[in-house]
Amino acid sequence: MKPNAFQDRMRSHIEGLLAKKGRSKETKWHDGAEESFFEIGFPPYTAWIYDDEAQLSGPGLDQRFEFHDYGSLDALEATYSDFVQNFIRSLA
């Protein structure tokens, strides 16, 4: 399965933010039978981008953003995008 538009936009957004911060990252595409997702590692944190949900986790952090909490993919994307942007900007 190929990434959907949401996954591609979020991957690009996160990678761009990390590049601006000069942070190294490793992006992996997991193509499974049940679900496919991006895993973006920027130690000690990891972002996951599924087809209709996303997560950011690491030491002291476990934020999940799920479609059913937002009612639309656009609302989920806007909220996750803002959260990730503010988080990455706060990194040293």
- How far lies 83's CA from each of 65, 70, 79, in Å? 10, 14, 6
Domain ranges of the chain: 1-25
Distance from the Cα of residue 56 to its chain's centroid: 6
- Which pTM does this prediction carry? 0.93
What confidence tens digit (pLDDT) does each residue in 11-57 have? 999 999 999 999 999 999 999 988 999 999 999 999 999 999 999 99
pLDDT score, position 1 = 87
- How far lies 23's CA from each of 31, 64, 71, 79, 87, in Å? 25, 22, 33, 22, 13
pLDDT score, position 17 = 97
Over residues 1-18, the mean pLDDT reads 96
What confidence tens digit (pLDDT) does each residue in 60-84 have? 999 999 999 999 999 999 999 999 9
pLDDT at 92 over 90: no
